Amino acid sequence: MLAGVGLTWYTWLEQGRKINVSRQVIDAVARVLRMSPAEHEYALHLAGHEGLQRDDGHRLPPHGQHVLDALGSSPAYAIAWDWTIIAWNDAYAALYPTVATTTPDERNLLWLVWTDPTVRDLLPDWPTDSRRFVTMYRAAIGPRLNSPEVAKLVDDLRKASPEFGTAWDSHDVDGFTSRVRTFIHPDVGRLDLEHQQLSFADSPGIHLTIYTAPNRETAAALERLSNRDHLTAGDCPGSPTLTA
């Protein structure tokens, strides 16, 4: 009664009969039975539906920041479902210092790629890379494509960059793939970085992007960049700690 499900239908559900159970029915039963998220997701999978659409907000759990910091000289950052950059480590701040000075409401990865000249300078093949970010963003957003947050971001980007409008209107979609990307840093020169994307089992809506060195030259350059950044911070008393 509380779930709004007929007694016969619910009986068939518990008996595991071959019936087509809608997601709404599973959601209602899970709510009434006060299932945990893990139990709810398990029930959805049993009925042949996709798992829960998790929105982990815009705050990285403390253990997430610990992972970022433990990566040492490997630049890494975390993004929420809408590509807001919510955390990063010192190595990423050394690679891309603007991340620490950008206001939180503009600290969106897609926005920065298309509007920040620092990013354009870092990417030697910016025309190709910027369009690729658009295709990956569209794929990642998926069913939330028409949400108010996405609509506002797209509208703001159209106003800021006619090139973005052309790229967005192509409707191309491409998922994330691990590959080597090239950056040109003003202090250490060329960096060939292999990037990976991971997520936390308990916060699947948050993704980590990690850049690692595929060769000795890049590893040495990252160490120099990290040491230079630490020395600079140490020479400037009162410099703020770079945290999300």
Q: Which domains does the chain have, with CATH numbers?
A: 7-46 (no CATH), 62-234 (3.30.450.180)
| Mean pLDDT (whole number) for 213-229 | 90
**H runs (alpha helix) in 103-215:** 109-115, 117-122, 126-141, 148-160, 162-169
DSSP tag of 108: B
Residues, the chain? 244
Give the tens place of pLDDT for each residue, 44-71. 888 888 766 666 678 888 899 999 999 9
pLDDT at residue number 55? 60
pTM: 0.76
Query: How many of the other CB atoms lie within 10 Å of CB of 168?
Result: 20
Paired with 77 in beta bridges are 88, 209
The percent of the chain in helix, strand and coil, each rounded to the nearest 5, is 50, 15, 35
Q: How confident is the model at residue 43 (pLDDT cuts 50, 70, 90)?
A: confident
Give the tens place of pLDDT for each residue, 75-126. 999 999 999 999 999 999 999 999 999 999 999 999 999 999 999 999 999 9
